[in-house]
């Protein structure tokens, strides 16, 4: 059994979605953010020293427990556990796209989005500085749009874990960083993701999530 340590309005929603897509059994332990700092509660440090979500614990039949942190690492662990489902396509070019988007989501796209969110909360000057970050975000959004205009999913013709990884930054961008109908391929992709039964099931089980 897999236990997902799930923080509200966070990256961990992707893990619930992936587990639903794979049909793997799991249970959820929910955590709420601190209302003032919006940070994860200290209870998560008992699960992993960094005290962040997502974290999963995989309870093996032999009584051992594997603890896995970091969204990308969890996603790759689940692909392996599911015998390659939602993993890299067989075609080499598609497999390279898969690996690129799997790491691009957190390595390239999330940093400016997070920077804009944090700086935007600083009184007086924060809003002005955040506006200077927007062109950097727009460059990413234009790149994503150009890629999704060529194929239905990030790696190719079928949905993969790369799409699951890309969901959170694009949902965040739609919520607070200017992603709108001017980039129709990306919006169509998001709408397609949100309509999936597994995504809807994960939302129902995960609780409040501001970005869907």
Query: Token pair of 207, please?
Result: 């609780």
Query: Token pair of 6, please?
Result: 């799930």
Which of 52-56, 101-105, 143-147, 196-200 shows the lowest mean pLDDT across its residues? 52-56
Select the more confidently predicted residue: 75 or 130: 75
Tell which CATH architecture fits domain 2-86+198-206: 3-Layer(aba) Sandwich (3.40)
- pLDDT exceeding 90 applies to what percent of the chain? 72
- Quote the pLDDT of residue 134: 93
CB distance 137 to 113 below 8 Å: yes
Q: In whole numbers, what is the pLDDT of the chain averaged over residues?
A: 92
58 forms beta bridges with 2, 66
**Domain edges within the chain:** 2-86+198-206, 92-196
On the question of pLDDT at 33 being above 70, the answer is yes
CA 126 – CA 116 distance, rounded (Å): 9
Q: In a 3-state reduction of DSSP, which class is residue 123?
A: coil
Give the pTM.
0.92
List, edge to edge, every strand of the sheet that includes 26-31. Answer: 26-31, 2-7, 55-59, 65-69
CB distance 94 to 155 below 8 Å: yes
- Quote the pLDDT of residue 61: 65
- pLDDT exceeding 70 applies to what percent of the chain? 97
List pLDDT tens digits, range 45-93: 888 998 889 999 998 766 789 999 999 999 999 999 999 999 999 999 9
- pLDDT band per the 50, 70, 90 thresholds, residue 35: confident
Q: Give the phi and the psi of residue 149 in degrees, each rounded to 5.
A: -70, -15
CA 103 – CA 165 distance, rounded (Å): 8
How does DSSP classify residue 209?
-
On the question of pLDDT at 41 being above 90, the answer is no
Return the closest-CA partner of residue 207 out of 69, 16, 42. 16
Q: What is the mean pLDDT of residues 151-162?
A: 98
Q: Which CATH class is domain 92-196?
A: mainly alpha
């Amino acid at each position: 059994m897999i236990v997902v340590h799930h923080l509200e309005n966070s990256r961990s929603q992707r893990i619930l979605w992936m587990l639903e897509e794979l049909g793997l059994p799991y249970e959820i332990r929910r955590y709420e953010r601190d209302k003032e700092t919006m940070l994860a509660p200290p209870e998560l440090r008992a699960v992993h020293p960094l005290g962040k979500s997502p974290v999963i614990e995989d309870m093996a039949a032999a009584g051992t427990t594997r603890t896995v942190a970091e969204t990308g690492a969890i996603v790759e662990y689940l692909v392996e556990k599911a015998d390659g489902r939602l993993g890299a396509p067989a075609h080499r070019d598609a497999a390279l796209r898969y690996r690129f988007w799997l790491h691009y989501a957190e390595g390239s796209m999330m940093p400016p989005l997070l920077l804009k969110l944090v700086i935007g909360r600083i009184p007086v000057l924060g809003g002005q500085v955040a506006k200077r970050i927007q062109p950097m975000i727009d460059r990413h959004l234009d790149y994503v749009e150009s890629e999704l205009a060529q194929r239905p999913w990030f790696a190719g013709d079928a949905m993969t874990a790369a799409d699951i990884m890309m969901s959170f930054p694009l949902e965040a961008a739609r919520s607070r960083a200017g992603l709108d109908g001017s980039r129709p391929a990306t919006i169509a992709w998001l709408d397609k993701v949100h309509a999936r039964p597994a995504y809807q099931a994960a939302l129902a089980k995960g609780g409040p999530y501001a970005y869907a």
